[in-house]
Structure 1
Amino acid sequence: MSVPRLETSPMQQQPAPTPDSDTPLEQALDWLILLEDADEACQARFAQWLAASPANAEAFARAQRCWQSPALVSAAARLEQRRQPAPKRARRLGPGLAIAASLLLVVGITLHSDLLLRLRADHVTAVGQRQSLQLADGSRVLLNTDSAFTSRIDERQRVTQLLRGEAYFDVAKDSSRPFEVSAGPVRVSVRGTAFAVRYLGDAAEVSVEHGEIEVHARGNDTRIHLRGGDSIRVGPDGVGQRTRANSASQLAWVQGRLVFDDRPLHEVLDELRRYYPGWIINGNARLNDLRITGNYRLSEPASIMRSLAQVTSAQLHEYPALLILN
């Protein structure tokens, strides 16, 4: 995963963006880095570039909004809390470079976490990938994007664990061995049915397509019985209310689709980020609460972003591993 131009060498050694090689927005992103430690000559070149075209001024304003977006700033803030005191340096990083450095740390921490997860898991899917599994008892499992799964199936037990992500289970009937799925705060027990478990962060959601299941909430004696069409969420705030699931949208990913029914754009983008192997940034906060209804092919997140840009009358800027909506 890459982020745009995160050079950290002394700024006076960096060349100014060249108008004939980059788009105005790419040049503006370069200027954000250069201006962190600009001398008078660099500032003069920037002023000349800014005045050269109205498109340059517009691109720089847009780049500033993206660079200061809540997604980047919050990532930097979370990492800053974890950092140990570092030795004093000759020059402090400005806020832009601090965010850039923090984003690189995000990548490093993510890779480290994934390594630990891979050591525990039997199966791991990459971002944007789905994987179909056939277990030893005849049950079928479909792993969604960015998921990790392990199982122990023998003559006495059928025990599985969703370590992260989302999975759909079509369980083979066996009255002598219940089929169990653990996922963070929940444990699901069934004997033969079809259901999905979504485990992201510290919350889990269970949705039943058909049949009956029993959900155990960890930490207390709560047991919930669900039937086809039921859904329930269990998280740090406790056990939620049982609802009748909209299977057309909640289980659409099993058929390779993403369905949104009157959802705010910020929720739609959060879901798309699970499928896109890069950064998706909304540079215009006024778009966050626009309501979105649509049915999309989940294997094409960039195409979905183009469609969203069209229906919201926004612009989409596409770079390698980076999509910016404005």
Structure 2
Amino acid sequence: MTEPITHPADGESLQSQALDWLLALEDADTATLARFDAWLAESAAHRAAFEHARACWQSSALVDAAAQLEARTAPAPRRRWAGALAMAASVLLALGVLVQSNVLLDWRADHVTAVGQRQSLDLADGSQVVLNTDSAFSSDIDGRKRTANLLRGEAYFDVARDSARPFEVNAGPVQISVLGTAFAVRYLDDTTEVSVAHGQVEVRARNSGARIHLSAGDSIRIDEQGAGNRVRGDAASQLAWVQGRLVFDDRPLGEVLTELRRYYPGWIINASGPLDSMRVTGNYRLSDPVSVMRSLAQVTSANLHEYPALLILN
């Protein structure tokens, strides 16, 4: 019996954990039930995620979706049917979690990119912006101010120098101020990361008012709890997406798949928990996530099952 492997998680991955527990409980022993009770008691978010997963599990929409997935394969034992249910439930759960929140943000944005899309923008002051996949962005530039808002996702800024008007970027828990430089901002799951390509950047944490100065090659992560440690010399891999690359060095496969899902306009499912902890290194083109998955399957000796808009690794 496979049990869920839990990690610190956002809403979407909590739903995935809840779904894993639903499957594990089908033939759970006493020890597994005890671990499930402990997971459930960790937080109200865990309990809410499990109730949501159970409601989707019992829905007619799930049964229909599972039947369509099962029809693509030859008849098999009960565990395969459970796998089809899990795949279908993952789709339904992710839709329920993500769509509602994203629609509200997109209404506030001037520019929105779809999953897998990048977009280059020329702002009124001469600054240039590259929006990464699944991002929402707005700006307000006039004779007195230069303000940009990253509502969701990731953006790379090449800012035109203007000593009279600092360029400010708002991204969740931080405000970034520059005169003329190049840097990237990533805002996902209430956490903001800033990586500097060249020049100087001032980052202000809203919750504490702390000001952090970053130079070329520096990066830092800030959430509602405060700022993490400044990392020097690590910005290059974090900026690789600007050139359309996904670069990772000795990273757990689970982290790599989480990043790759941002670029694939479908569903990527890891059906084997132990694969998450395998360490991988690579440099891939983001324009072809399917090829990336094929390479990852090869280097980890895993099997990749390809369906329309669905990739399953096990």
TM bucket (normalised to shorter chain) is 0.7 to 0.9
CA distance in 2 between partners of 1:109 and 1:65 (Å)? 21
Root-mean-square deviation (CA, aligned residues, Å) is 2.5
The residue number in structure 2 matching 1:263 is: 251
Q: Give yes or no for contact 2:297–2:313 (8 Å, CA) kept in 1.
A: yes
Gaps of 5+ in 2: 1-57
Q: Give the AA of the match of 1:145.
A: T
Are the aligned partners of 1:258 and 1:295 in contact in 2 as well (CA < 8 Å)? yes
The aligned counterpart of 1:298 is: 286
Q: Indicate the residue corresponding to 1:186 in structure 2.
A: 174
1:239 to 215, 227, 231: 227
Is the CA contact 2:176–2:202 (under 8 Å) kept in the aligned structure 1?
yes
Judge conservation of contact 1:143–1:168 (CA < 8 Å) in 2: yes
1:294 to 1:106, Cα distance in 2 relative to 1, 3 A: closer
Change beyond 3 A, Cα 1:135–1:288: same
Residue in structure 2 matched with residue 46 of structure 1 by the alignment:
none
Aligned partners of 1:212 and 1:228 also within 8 Å:
yes
Task: Report percent identity of matched pairs.
Answer: 65
Q: Which residue of 1 aligns with 2:28?
A: none
Structure 2 residue matching 1:116: 3-state secondary structure: helix
TM-superposed CA distance for 1:116, in Å, is: 1.4
Between Structure 1 and Structure 2, whose CA radius of gyration is higher?
Answer: 1
Q: Give the corresponding residue for 2:305.
A: 317
Paired with 1:123 and 1:163, the residues of 2 have a C-alpha distance of 10
Residues 318, 225 of structure 1: CA spacing in aligned structure 2 closer, same or farther, 3 A cutoff?
same
Query: Does residue 65 of structure 2 align to residue 8 of structure 1?
Result: no
Q: Match for 1:188: what amino acid?
A: I
Q: Cα 1:183–1:128, aligned 2, differ >3 Å: closer, same or farther?
A: same
Residue type matched to 1:159 in 2?
T
Distance 1:112 1:205, change over 3 A: same
Matched, 1:64 2:82: yes
Write out aligned runs for 1:161-310 (5 A).
Answer: 161-310=149-298
Q: Which residue of 1 aligns with 2:6?
A: none
What is the deviation of 1:108?
Answer: 4.7
Q: Tell me how many residue pairs correspond in the alignment.
A: 253
Q: 1:22/1:221 Cα in 2 relative to 1: closer, same or farther (>3 Å)?
A: closer
The answer to whether the 8 A contact 1:208-1:227 is kept is yes
Question: Residue in 2 aligned with 1:157?
Answer: 145
Q: Which residue of 2 aligns with 1:23?
A: 73
Shift of 1:183: 0.2
Give, in angstroms, the shift of residue 247 of structure 1: 3.0
Structure 2 CA distance, aligned partners of 1:209 and 1:61?
Answer: 49
Query: 1: CA distance between counterparts of 2:311 and 2:201?
Result: 40
User: Would you say the 8 A contact 2:171–2:192 is kept in 1?
Assistant: yes
Question: Counterpart of 1:206 in 2: which secondary structure?
Answer: strand
Are the equivalent residues in 1 in contact too, given 2:193–2:222 (CA < 8 A)? yes
Normalised by the size of structure 2, how large is the TM-score?
0.75
